[in-house]
Structure 1
Amino acid sequence: MSRCLEIISPGFLLLVTAFALQQSGELLASILLASGLHEIGHWAALRFFGVRAERFRLAAWGAGMVCGAGLSYGQELIAVIAGPAVNLICGVACARAAEHMGWTSGYLYAGAHVILGAFNLLPISVLDGGRAIELILSLWADPWLARRIVSILSIFTLVLLTSGALWLSVQSGGNAYLLVGILGVWSMLLRRE
């Protein structure tokens, strides 16, 4: 099997194709760019600490890296937060470029960055925010206890998000894009638990 097929899941290709058929190419480009820069943020922080990513995988509901060397809780926390931080910085830069240079598409790119960065900061264990909370709690408590607390927080957060997405879907006359994304996060969480 080729190296490219090992790192890109069929689910990722299917999701990108479906999205491309339903939405504009520029929207898809803004989301893919925000996702790519998000992962580069994680990768750059790992490289700063001298850690090499052994494997990278794009899947339908996100990307992931496998690293060989261990990091301290503080170093891993920095690496985890680096992805959303890059998105927030790029979001502000795109918005400023849109404002000062008349680049109207810049607001689309800014929005993709800010939404992706903020979404990844949600307190859900399979997202950066949940992992960050687990690492912070592990500094002061047993890692097992920290993992349990974040698991409970993850389920609570996802129940709220699912309820909100269902309500929005009904209010919008059946638009279920947000609900599909949340179901993807549920799927990742249930496979991890």
Structure 2
Amino acid sequence: MKRLEVRDGFLVLLAALWCVDETNTLPLFLLAAAIHELGHVLVLSLAGGRVLRLTLTACGAVLRCTLPEGRCARAAVCLAGPAASFALTAFAGELGLYRLAGASMLLGAFNLLPMPPLDGGMALCHLAGGRFPFARGALSLAVMAGLLTTGCWLWRQGGGAWLLLIGALISAQTMKNLAKTTE
């Protein structure tokens, strides 16, 4: 079994972003994403879990693993990625690498949104012991609606297309997750 799987959608998105990246920001986001995932892997291994596979998709990285025992340990693994992102933000800021710090901060903050499959939502699911699927779905819908509304408003102001795209991607994943919980 391969431990790293790279989907075609990831490669297509990477190529498209590389073509439009006039400010060389993409390598900074890739470094920030690698540090973010390493945070998950470090805490996972310290908690007794094991990485089975890392899949890179157009929607992000998906870490398949054996989870440690206990809700708090599982939530800690989920929150370790954003914690690593914020540590990189502080470190890069101290070195004067402000673009890297900004990329890492954006990645960490985005992943803390309280909706699955993002880290914040998964941590809440583990802490709640899998209860309250409809409340979780309502929260996901509220965050999704906020992202789409803000993205539309910014787009009309001459920017924010990236937020609209992120909101649309999260909307699709949220609808898929909600369909699973209501089956």
As a proportion of its length, which structure holds more helix? 1
- 2-structure distance, mates of 1:170, 1:3: 44
Amino acid at match of 1:15: L
Q: Which of 161, 165, 181 lines up with 1:176 in the alignment?
A: 161
Aligned to 1:101: none
Q: CA offset at residue 115 of structure 1?
A: 0.3
SS in structure 1 of the partner of residue 113 of structure 2 = coil
The two structures have a TM-score, normalised by structure 2, of 0.90
Residue 119 (structure 1) aligned with residue 110 (structure 2):
yes
Aligned to 1:144: 131
Amino acid at match of 1:129: G
Relative to structure 1, the CA distance from residue 175 to residue 125 in structure 2 (aligned partners, 3 Å threshold; closer, same or farther) is closer
Deviation string 1:83-115 (CA, Å, 9 cap, x unpaired) is: 0000001001101100xxxxxxx1110000000
The two structures have a TM-score, normalised by structure 1, of 0.85
Runs of at least 4 residues off by over 6 Å: none
- 2-structure distance, mates of 1:9, 1:32: 16
Identity %: 30
Q: CA offset at residue 185 of structure 1?
A: 1.5
SS in structure 2 of the partner of residue 43 of structure 1 = helix
Aligned to 2:181: none
Amino acid at match of 2:164: L
Aligned to 1:78: 76
Unaligned runs of 5+ in 1: 99-105
Within a 5 Å distance, the mapping from 1:29-178 to structure 2 comes to: 29-98=27-96, 106-138=97-129, 143-145=130-132, 147-172=133-158, 175-178=160-163
Which protein is bigger by CA-based radius of gyration? 1
RMSD of aligned alpha carbons:
1.9
* Equivalent residues, number: 178
- 1-structure distance, mates of 2:54, 2:103: 22
In the alignment, is the contact (CA less than 8 A) between 2:47 and 2:73 conserved in 1?
yes
Amino acid at match of 1:56: L
Amino acid at match of 1:89: A
Amino acid at match of 2:135: I
Amino acid at match of 1:21: C
Amino acid at match of 1:191: K
SS in structure 2 of the partner of residue 26 of structure 1 = coil
Deviation string 1:154-178 (CA, Å, 9 cap, x unpaired) is: 0111101100000001101x55122
Aligned to 1:17: 15
